[in-house]
């Protein structure tokens, strides 16, 4: 069973649209990270959130950590083809990093 | 500064064989973690090494083992390969263990026939 559930699994949208992907768990995490992985490459860290309710912005990407530190969301505004990739969330629990299965995003021009 | 390198990039083996994968971390990084990535299970943590010592181990059978050398380079070994071991094996390095920024290598794609 996946400790971190990500939804949706797949998302295909047109350039310029907005989207939100989710990362949910029944466990409380001391911190949570979001990564983006492109084909043929390893994941690249986008952001780390550590405080419940925290919101971080990275250009067109907005990350939110739930108040209870069990869930997180990633919102992309005006998506571009360069945003295409696999978005992974990862949480630290008992000194282990746990990853979700990811949301595969395709942004069509 | 050079990134994390993994060799080989692609590997094809048959059931019952063993395989050794190599990872060279970013210079100055002393922590190396290994992950298995499959379409169905996502990234699953295998083990983490820091200063030549295994710091954490995921829930994998004993056929999966690893080690770290004094120069922080790491290897992982899988013995008696099974079809289900086909996956992308990713190595990540960080300056310190635990929740620190991890830099991933491109991975080794292992196919077991």
Give the tens place of pLDDT for each residue, B5-63: 999 999 999 999 999 999 999 999 999 999 999 987 788 999 999 999 999 888 899 99
Of residues B4 and B98, the one with the higher pLDDT is: B4
Give the DSSP letter string of A2-69.
-SSEEE-SEEEEETT--EEEEEE-SS--S-EEEEEE-TTS--EEEEEE-STT-EEEETTEEEEE-TTS
| Percent of chain A at pLDDT exceeding 90 | 76
DSSP SS3 for B78 = strand
Cβ–Cβ < 8 Å for A63, A46:
yes
Average pLDDT, chain A: 92
Give the tens place of pLDDT for each residue, A10-59: 999 999 999 999 999 988 888 899 999 998 889 999 999 999 999 999 99
Q: A77 vs A52, A58, A88, B23, CA distance in Å?
A: 23, 11, 18, 37
- Decide if B59 touches A, using CB distance below 8 A: no
pLDDT above 90 (res B98) = no
Q: What is the pLDDT of residue B78?
A: 98
pLDDT above 60 (res A2) = no
Q: What is the pLDDT of residue A79?
A: 97
CA distance B90 to B81: 17
User: Shortest CB distance from A95 goes to which of B40, B90, B98?
Assistant: B98
Chain A residues touching chain B at CB-CB below 8 Å: 2, 30-31, 33, 40-45, 48, 88, 90, 92, 95-102
B76, β-bridge pairs: B21, B66
Interstrand relation of A85-93 and A71-76 (parallel, antiparallel or unpaired) = unpaired
Half-sphere exposure of B58 (CA within 13 A, CB side): 19
Q: B110 vs A99, B9, B37, B54, CA distance in Å?
A: 20, 8, 11, 23
CA distance B65 to B57: 9
Place of tokens 């409380």: A28
User: Shortest CB distance from A45 goes to which of B41, B58, B102?
Assistant: B102
């Amino acid at each position: 069973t996946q400790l971190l559930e990500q939804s949706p699994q797949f998302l295909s949208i047109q350039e310029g649209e907005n989207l939100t992907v989710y990362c949910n768990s029944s466990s409380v995490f001391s911190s949570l990270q979001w990564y983006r992985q492109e084909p043929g490459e390893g994941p690249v860290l986008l952001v780390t959130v550590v405080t419940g309710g925290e919101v971080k912005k990275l250009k067109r990407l907005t990350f939110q950590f739930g108040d209870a530190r069990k869930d997180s969301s990633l919102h992309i505004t005006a998506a571009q083809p360069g945003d295409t990739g696999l978005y992974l969330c990862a949480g630290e629990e008992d000194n282990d990093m746990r990853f979700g299965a990811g949301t595969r995003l395709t942004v069509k021009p | 500064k050079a990134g994390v390198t993994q060799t080989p990039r692609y590997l094809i083996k048959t059931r019952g064989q063993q395989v050794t994968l190599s990872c060279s971390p970013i210079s100055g990084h002393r922590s190396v973690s290994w992950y298995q990535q499959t379409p169905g299970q996502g990234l699953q943590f295998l083990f983490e090494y820091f200063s030549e010592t295994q710091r954490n181990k995921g829930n994998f059978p004993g056929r999966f083992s690893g080690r770290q050398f004094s120069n922080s380079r790491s290897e992982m070994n899988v013995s008696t390969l099974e079809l289900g071991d086909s996956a992308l094996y990713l190595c990540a390095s960080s300056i310190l263990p635990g929740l620190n920024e991890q830099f991933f290598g491109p991975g080794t794609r292992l196919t077991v026939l």
